[in-house]
Amino acid sequence: MKVDDIINKYKEKFTCPPTPESVEGEREETLKKVFDAQVLAKLKDRIVAAYQILADVSRGKRKIPAARVALLAGGLAYLALPLDLVCDAIPVAGLVDDAIVLTWIFAQCADLFGAKQER
């Protein structure tokens, strides 16, 4: 599933009132995605790459727009800091919000990773 599909799906959630059936179906689908090892491995690789990009920028080895630097730094800070939209102590939901935010940020900076990001 591509990042744009995920974003559009969440946009639809905010425009249409949910039914109990749709909420349960979404919960099951989200749990399957969260525990998919390939998706988590790709996200981990992107986190490491983002850190390396920021390290290169700070050493002067690479130049990228300031807005991209802010996005990547903000994403890594959001992951590291305890202040979140959803508390990390809440099972699954606490980590899902981090994954969604990071996925969106990495999609905005996909050209920095050398190839278009796939999801």
Residue 112 · residue 57 · CB < 8 Å: no
- Does the pLDDT value for residue 117 go beyond 50? no
Quick check: is 29 in a domain?
A: no
Looking at residues 54-67, what average pLDDT do you find?
Answer: 92
Range of the domain at 53: 1-6+37-119
Looking at residues 28-48, what average pLDDT do you find?
Answer: 76
Rounded-to-integer distance, Cα 82 and Cα 87, Å: 8
Looking at residues 17-32, what average pLDDT do you find?
Answer: 69
Regarding predicted confidence, which is higher, 81 or 28? 81
User: In this predicted structure, what is the pLDDT of residue 12?
Assistant: 67
Instruction: Report helix, strand or coil for 79.
Output: helix
Looking at residues 73-94, what average pLDDT do you find?
Answer: 80
Quick check: is 62 in a domain?
A: yes
Quick check: is 81 in a domain?
A: yes
pTM score, two decimals?
A: 0.59
Looking at residues 23-41, what average pLDDT do you find?
Answer: 71
Instruction: Report helix, strand or coil for 41.
Output: helix
Q: Give, in degrees to the nearest 5, the angle at Cα 7 between 43 and 85.
A: 70
Quick check: is 87 in a domain?
A: yes
Instruction: Report helix, strand or coil for 54.
Output: helix
**How many domains does the chain fold into?**
1
